[in-house]
Structure 1
Amino acid sequence: MAGIDAARGLALLGMMATHLLPTFEANAALTPTWVGLTFSGRAAALFAVLAGIGLALSTGKQQPLDGPALTAARRGIAMRALVIAVVGLALGGLDVNIAVILVHYAVLFLCILPFIGLRLKALCGWAAGWILLSPLLAFLLRPWLMAADPPLQLNHNPGWEDFTTSGQLLGDLFLTGYYPVFLWISYLLVGLVIGRLALTAAIVPVLLLLGGTAVAAFSKVLGTAAMEQWGGRAALQEILTDPSYPLDSLLQVNLAGVRQEGSWWWLAGSAPHSGTTLDLLHTSGVAAAVVGLCLLVGRLGQWLALDLLLPLRGPGAMTLTLYTAHVCVVASFHLKPLPVGWTEDGMYFAHAALAVMIGMVFVILKWRGPLEWLGHAANQVGRHQPARIR
């Protein structure tokens, strides 16, 4: 678990970076920054893939549960998802310029329940099929949802009040929002595949690192070629409804705010948050490579008798608590000037350093984070199987 927690900590720090540091330069061309080029799309995807890995590890590892044990595990996951959803809906009431992932994350947990009992071969088939076909179905369905009056999209984080407009809420959660669940099921399926592997075997982390890197590189090269060499970007620039956004920069950092309709070329790229097959492949490959690297570093630390992963696995063991605290702090500064002497870089360093230090303290003392404790308790309640009376 140390390597998995470390990868989760890295995902948390990456998401914090995209929240606090600019992903575009403040110029007319919206030149991508190193933060946008490095973390945008990848950190959140890593977070989702790790959710699938965690579910696999808690439901039998290489041998998935079955029968009453599987039913109890599904109840526990559903109860944990309820806790995450409540936290996410509460954060949805904050005035903050962050796309909060928690409600979508909770819905993903519920949507993945039918796949929890599948074995590795079946999971590989489902993951491959979902990555290939879900972008096409989403591309066909999104224009229909956006053509509704009003469009089935929230344009803000889901909150309690959105239950009064259930059509918009469901449309946003599954297809039109920042983290479309229908597409992101791909990440949890990939995570289940990874979690069903023999992660303790010496060769598996190496295969994850090398295979993930190869898939990520291939999909990014292919997507870039489709846009830049085969005419994709030029064709899309002609139909872009808002030409004030430089498509070149958006394709490198974040395509979430662009209406992807009117041309099949939208399906050919690998831009972050585009939800195409190549985007899903690239970000899944990056996630697999990061997990493999963290597992290898963990083994190196065991060989050296040093806990090399402690600064990452500390915050990774309590991401729900730290993510929630991070969003609340960012909300407290929303539309307000930074304190005198503070910069965006300094603000990020403070968030990251506090997350690392708090996480390390909790791991050393073997404590659960407050929200992790609540989620664990909910999971245990859901898994409880009353003794049969004979």
Structure 2
Amino acid sequence: MTSRSPATRSRKLPSRQQPGRLRGIDAARGLALLGMMATHLLPTFESNATLTPTWVGLTFSGRAAALFAVLAGVGLALSTGKNKPVEGPELSAARRGVALRALVIAVVGLTLGGLEVNVAIILVHYAVLFLCVLPFLGLGAKRLFAWAAGWLLASPVLAYLLRPWLLAAEPPLKLGHNPNWEDLGTPFRLLADVFLTGYYPALQWLSYLLVGLAIGRLVLTRALVPALLLVGGTVVAVAARTLGVAAMEDWGGRAALEKVLNSPGYPLASVLQVNLAGFPQDDSWWWLASAAPHSGTTLDLLHTSAVAAAVIGACLLLGRLAEWVDLDLLLPLRGPGAMTLTLYAVHVWVVSGFYLKPLPAGWTEDGMYFAHAAAAIMIGMLFVVLKRRGPLEWLGHSASLVGRGGLKALQ
């Protein structure tokens, strides 16, 4: 009797969750989603002259989105052989599947980009990162960690050198909005923004997917691996952040950058704690010494990657505990984590409905966030209990099956 191909085995349950999912990974995705929602709906700075950071800005800014990207790499590793990467024709099929899944994500991202909304939508960059990581899908953990380390070191320097050239063009090769369908008419400007001048520069952010791929190539079911991720990630995150703060505050970095900005009284110290996106970051090599969120420096990438690794380790350990006590402790997180694309898209669409409009009577920013979070948790839990994929997850999964096995995979 001949064995059935993977595509044939999976076609009988096209809308159900795959068996053997790591609950801790889905829980980490849910945490990333809720963290990104917090930065979208809650203030990251107090509304005062000194721009005092809020707890949301200090906790989630830069870290939630980075966790989302690192988990993308982990997911790709788990779907392409786990600790033993696929080879030969199977690897080619996997790459085709990932490429078609990226196309689905890009379509959703470009469509959402047409909305008027005060949210930096990550999906187009996310899709491009899926394509950029295709050459690395066949690598094992050691080589991936080596590539990740090299990318963490080199990409910020390359971005620092290229960005001024792109911004000096006329008009500057930078979008002032989220990528949308109209931007396909100016492809060079779109690509420059996605890779270098935008909110989530793919050149540096590829580091996150490489780190995630390397983590996913580990044997995550071994007892020691989650603990090593938690402890090692925490140590590296603290070290990178400490070094960045020392460079800015003790070694003269912030003073040098304040001279470059030539804006007396500007609260650069607060901005360095929360979000450096939008700053040109040129005219001084000191910009590369900070660990500020969304700065895209080596220390920022290293800190946020390490935080992601620690969170993944912690969630995997909690998943082990849940199995030991036979109680699904992670269901409120892994529910939304299993359908992040659908919930993220709906979240952005709902937020766009309140753009430049006052909140409904009786509503506060806190109340709006908790409404979004509660809805995501309840919908996610319902889909998990019903053992169903989210609508956009089903579409992405179907596209992946087509790429891997052709149209017969869906028949």
TM-score of the pair, normalised by structure 2: 0.93
- Pair 242,259 (structure 1): closer, same or farther in 2 beyond 3 Å: farther
Match of 1:286 in 2: 307
Match of 1:301 in 2: 322
1:65 to 86, 91, 109: 86
- Contact 1:72 1:385 survives alignment (8 Å): no
Give the Å deviation of 1:62: 0.6
Give the Å deviation of 1:243: 5.4
CA deviation vs aligned residue, 1:99-142 (integer Å, no higher than 9, x gap): 00000000000000000001122111100000011001101110
Secondary structure of 1:144's counterpart equals helix
- Contact 1:64 1:118 survives alignment (8 Å): yes
2:363 to 337, 342, 345: 342
Match of 2:6 in 1: none
Match of 2:198 in 1: 177
- Pair 243,312 (structure 1): closer, same or farther in 2 beyond 3 Å: farther
Match of 1:359 in 2: 380
Match of 1:262 in 2: 283
Match of 2:391 in 1: 370
Give the Å deviation of 1:176: 0.4
Match of 2:333 in 1: 312
Give the Å deviation of 1:244: 6.6
- For residues 354 and 263 of structure 2, what CA distance do their matches in structure 1 show? 30
Match of 2:14 in 1: none
Report matched runs for 1:1-390 at 5 Å: 1-240=22-261, 245-384=266-405
Moved more, 120-129 or 363-372: 120-129
- For residues 364 and 348 of structure 1, what CA distance do their matches in structure 2 show? 24
- For residues 245 and 158 of structure 1, what CA distance do their matches in structure 2 show? 30
Q: Percent identity?
A: 74
The number of aligned residues is 387
Give the Å deviation of 1:167: 1.8
Question: What is the letter of the counterpart of residue 256 of structure 2?
Answer: A
Give the Å deviation of 1:282: 0.2
Give the Å deviation of 1:168: 1.3
- For residues 62 and 116 of structure 1, what CA distance do their matches in structure 2 show? 11
- For residues 138 and 13 of structure 1, what CA distance do their matches in structure 2 show? 30
Give the Å deviation of 1:241: 5.7
Question: What is the letter of the counterpart of residue 116 of structure 2?
Answer: D
- Contact 1:134 1:182 survives alignment (8 Å): yes
- Contact 1:236 1:265 survives alignment (8 Å): yes
Give the Å deviation of 1:338: 0.4
- For residues 344 and 218 of structure 1, what CA distance do their matches in structure 2 show? 34
Question: What is the letter of the counterpart of residue 349 of structure 1?
Answer: F
CA deviation vs aligned residue, 1:328-372 (integer Å, no higher than 9, x gap): 000001111100000000000000000000000000110100000
Secondary structure of 2:170's counterpart equals coil
Give the Å deviation of 1:215: 0.5
Displacement over 4 Å in runs of 4+: 241-245
Question: What is the letter of the counterpart of residue 387 of structure 2?
Answer: K
- For residues 363 and 136 of structure 1, what CA distance do their matches in structure 2 show? 43
Secondary structure of 1:338's counterpart equals coil
